[in-house]
Amino acid sequence: MADLSNLLLLLVILLNFFALGSSRLAACIHAVALQGGILALLPLTAHGFSGHALLLAGGALALKAVLIPWLLLRAMRKVRIRREVEPLIGYVPTLLTGALATAAAFIFADLLPLVAAHQGGLFIPTSLATLLTGFLLLVSRRKALTQVVGYLILENGIFIFGILMADALPMMVEAGVLLDLLVAVFVMGIVIDQINREFSTLDTEQLSALKE
Amino acid sequence: MATHFLLHLVLLLCFAPLLQGVIVKTKALFAGRAGAPLLQPYYDLARLLRKDCVFSRTTTWVFLAGPVAGVVVPVLASLFMPFGALPAPLSFTGDLLLFVYLFGVARFFTVASALDTGSSFEGMGGAREVTFSCLAEPIVLFCLMVLAGIADGLSLTALFGPHLADAWRGPEGFSLGLVLVCLFVVLLVENSRIPFDDPNTHLELTMVHEVMVLDHSGPPLALVLYGAALKLMVLGAPVVRLLLPFTSGSLAGDTLVFLAGMLLLAVLIGVVESTMARLRLIRIPQILVGTSLLAGFALVLVLR
């Protein structure tokens, strides 16, 4: 099971790179959906088929892999944009920064004073790398939709960290986090619609300009 | 030793054009055509060798050095590269660097011969070729470093030794998978295949590699084509070895496994070429940088 977990975590990192390097919004959203699906498998591979793990997996699958990507794709069709045109930082520089952040995450995770069971595993470095990737996507893209994708990847990183503590964490906390996420994406969807109606573009740069 | 040497060269020199034939046939089948016969590359070579050469008056001996280096270098480089389970005829510690930079020499001569014609198109093709290959170089080096981290030697024969079969099942399996993908990308870039370049295009603005051989004719063109076939085989050998890391023990068995692997690889290239569109020129450096990041990531995983 540990081998399978590692394979899934490495796939998560590859999807991070893909999200950073791809300019098509639909591809980005699909990548996040796939990442959510992979994350849904992780509680099962890490903790076996207990009721708690199954609930966690089911919740993650329904929200992260199906519902939220569907909402995003719908929003994308509604506001009729297909690709991020001019990111604040270009694709190759963000990819390089993402790779550096991933390497840094691996080094940093080795320095952390962890429990012996988590030492040397891939969970902590992947979680940190995913967090940083989401953050990078959040700050380097202009379109509100891509920023939501960045926020989702960031949350995925936190989820990976949470899986390690799934035994200690009460179910309510996990459910609350997932619910928070859903509400946040809902609110962002409304905000996106509002930005689009106000400025007829999704460029968040417009928001920083002062108006009468 | 001598028979081994001979077998290595015969395999390379005789089978290389067949791979091109297989690729063309696969593409034809995908397009619903009957396609040229499998042996067409051999007929082409024979036809070109019978023809006369036409040289532009601006060219010098440099123009001819390109095709010659294009054939000599892959043959030299192949002597260091094990063909499947057959160990390489020549091997010493650190020959992997020589292997990588021998192709650099070939590239230098190809570009020099293209510039020697004085045509601005050929200069453009040369510039593109050099850009792409200098982006592909770190990928190859990262991949070889990953393999060196897994193996216990620094020669190509040690890198592609029989330990690979166990490594696939061990914790290094994922890194090996990444290396396999990266080496396949390098194979496509270096041999100017779709999605990075189109070997069939004759539209000036979209050509990368083809534009550099436009001015060659007759026997030099035959050398260029033959050199390209040899290069595909030499660079395909590591991919095949990673894909089929079996050692059967008998000489005939190993040879058959290797040849079957090469044919499979040719079919795979044909499938990739039929199913993918060519990338836009500005996307190619992005993809190559992304691929070298993957290779670097594989290295981090192995060293960790």
More confident residue, B232 or A142: B232
B contacts of A133 (beta carbons < 8 Å): none
Record: contact A91-B300, CB cut-off 8 A: no
Identify which of B212, B184, B208, B211 has the alpha carbon closest to the alpha carbon of residue B196.
B208
Q: Say yes or no to pLDDT of A111 above 90.
A: no
What's the confidence (pLDDT) of residue A211? 64
Asked if B300 is an interface residue toward chain A (Cβ–Cβ < 8 A), one would say yes
Identify which of B172, B177, B174, B205 has the alpha carbon closest to the alpha carbon of residue B278.
B205
Nearest by CB to residue B300, choosing from A17, A21, A106, is A106
Alpha-carbon distance A91 to nearest alpha carbon in chain B (angstroms)? 8
**Token output for A135:** 């953050």
Record: contact A106-B286, CB cut-off 8 A: no
Alpha-carbon distance B77 to nearest alpha carbon in chain A (angstroms)? 32
Q: Say yes or no to pLDDT of A6 above 60.
A: yes
Asked if B170 is an interface residue toward chain A (Cβ–Cβ < 8 A), one would say no
Record: contact B174-A7, CB cut-off 8 A: yes
Asked if B293 is an interface residue toward chain A (Cβ–Cβ < 8 A), one would say yes
Q: Say yes or no to pLDDT of A179 above 80.
A: no
Alpha-carbon distance A171 to nearest alpha carbon in chain B (angstroms)? 33
What's the confidence (pLDDT) of residue B204? 67
Least confident of A4-13, A110-119, A147-156, B220-229: A110-119
Under-50 pLDDT residues of chain B = none
Angle between helices A68-79 and A171-199 (to 10 degrees): 0
pLDDT tens-digit series, residues A35-91: 999 999 988 888 888 888 888 888 888 888 898 889 888 888 877 777 766 778 888
DSSP assignment, residue A67? I
Record: contact A91-B286, CB cut-off 8 A: yes
With contact defined as beta carbons under 8 Å apart, do B157 and B88 qualify?
yes
With contact defined as beta carbons under 8 Å apart, do B8 and B78 qualify?
yes
What's the confidence (pLDDT) of residue B2? 83
Q: Mean of the pLDDT values across residues A173-198?
A: 77
Nearest by CB to residue A103, choosing from B171, B289, B300, is B300
Mutation target among B174, B288, B301 for the A interface, most CBs of A within 10 A:
B174
Record: contact A99-B304, CB cut-off 8 A: no
Asked if B303 is an interface residue toward chain A (Cβ–Cβ < 8 A), one would say no
CA nearest A109 in B: which residue?
B304
How many A×B Cβ pairs under 8 Å? 34
With contact defined as beta carbons under 8 Å apart, do A133 and A153 qualify?
yes
Question: Considering all CA atoms of chain A, what is the largest pairwise distance in Å, rounded to the nearest integer?
Answer: 60
A contacts of B296 (beta carbons < 8 Å): 99, 103
The helix (run of H) or strand (run of E) holding residue B289 is helix B283-303
Residues 6+ apart with CB under 8 A from A152: A32, A36, A64, A68, A134, A181, A185
pLDDT tens-digit series, residues B176-225: 989 999 999 999 999 888 888 887 777 767 777 778 888 888 999 999 99
Q: Mean of the pLDDT values across residues A163-168?
A: 77
Mean pLDDT across chain A, nearest whole number?
83
Q: Say yes or no to pLDDT of A198 above 90.
A: no
Residues 6+ apart with CB under 8 A from A182: A63, A67, A68
What's the confidence (pLDDT) of residue B46? 95
More confident residue, A180 or A9: A9
Q: Say yes or no to pLDDT of A15 above 70.
A: yes
| Residues B117, B120, B123: CA angle, nearest 5 degrees | 75
Asked if B290 is an interface residue toward chain A (Cβ–Cβ < 8 A), one would say yes
Residues 29-48 of B with CB under 8 A from A: none
Asked if B181 is an interface residue toward chain A (Cβ–Cβ < 8 A), one would say no
Rounded to whole angstroms, how far apart are CA atoms A139 and A185?
17
State the CB neighbour count (10 A cutoff) for residue A184: 15
More confident residue, B105 or A171: B105
What's the confidence (pLDDT) of residue B20? 93
Handedness of CA B55, B57, B58, B64 (dihedral sign): positive
What's the confidence (pLDDT) of residue A212? 57
Asked if B296 is an interface residue toward chain A (Cβ–Cβ < 8 A), one would say yes
Record: contact B174-A10, CB cut-off 8 A: yes
